[in-house]
Copies of this chain bind each other. A is one copy, B any other.
Amino acid sequence: MRMLVSLLVFMSLSSLAFSDENASSYILPRPLIFETHELKSAAAIYDDDSVNVNCTSWRFAAETNNLAPWKTIPAECAGYVKDYLMGRGYVVDLERVSEEANVYASSFGFSGGDGKDTWIFDIDETLLSNLPYYLEHGCGLEVFDHTKFDKWVEKGVAPAIAPSLKLYEKVKDLGYKVILLTGRRENHRVITIENLINAGFNNWDELILRSLDDDHKTATIFKSEKRDEMVKEGYRIRGNSGDQWSDLLGFAMSQRSFKLPNPMYYIPEVGKTNSYSII
């Protein structure tokens, strides 16, 4: 499979690891063919296939939230995950979820409406990609390091995920109230706004970051509470886009949720023992 994926690879992110003043370079995916491999022996194909089956299975279990909380990807899947991220797999998945959300968002047919129809977006790995950082840190093979990651965030150069930018603009055009709800902390508000704007995101209605009061809360509780406030103010949460189940589950859930792929890291819900409960 690694051979097959490598035959044609449509993305290169290497240049994105560096700060760039040109906003257009902040957008993923950018097509670029950079690698070909010769045919392998049947034995090598079998080895590849065995890893492929196991790692696809691991990814299925991660993406459907079947796994116990995990801190790093399985070592045997390091190449598989990198190939997925750098190959067509990730892009195709991102495009599909954007298109499905687009079709759903367009299905309500309100023109103007009462301004209460709302769409929520997470930021990291949903609107902005930290792939340049993770490519430098094993794509999930290294345990998450807050200090190093914060330094990356503070550069403010995370590129847009292009299919998400497309959806973002669509839901704005359709008249949805757009809320950005992120686990990033308030002290990163300014750089986050700068990064979002440079990456092409504009005119959101609200940007909610984690305040000091929210610091002890799990991602699921923090985000559920914020959604609950919106519901109590009369907003209808029609859609919610996020790469973590902690963006989507809990209470005051959206009418439909869209799970973006993320095989690199996992943000725990409520210790996974009462994460799915109605609280």
Contacts and interface: CB of A to CB of B under 8 A. Distances in A.
A96 interface: yes
A32 interface: no
A102 to B, nearest CB: 11
A256 B276 contact: yes
Given A42-B39, A53-B88, A60 B61 contact: no
Copies in the complex: 2
Interface stretch (A20-28, A62-70, A206-214): A62-70
Given A253-B278, A274-B255, A45 B7 contact: yes
A257 interface: yes
A255 B277 contact: yes
A163 interface: no
Interface residues of A, number: 55
A54 B92 CA distance: 7
A149 interface: no
A259 B64 contact: yes
A205 interface: no
A29 interface: no
A259 B65 contact: yes
8 pairs of A and B residues whose beta carbons are closest in the complex: A4-B49, A64-B259, A57-B92, A253-B276, A57-B93, A53-B88, A61-B96, A66-B97
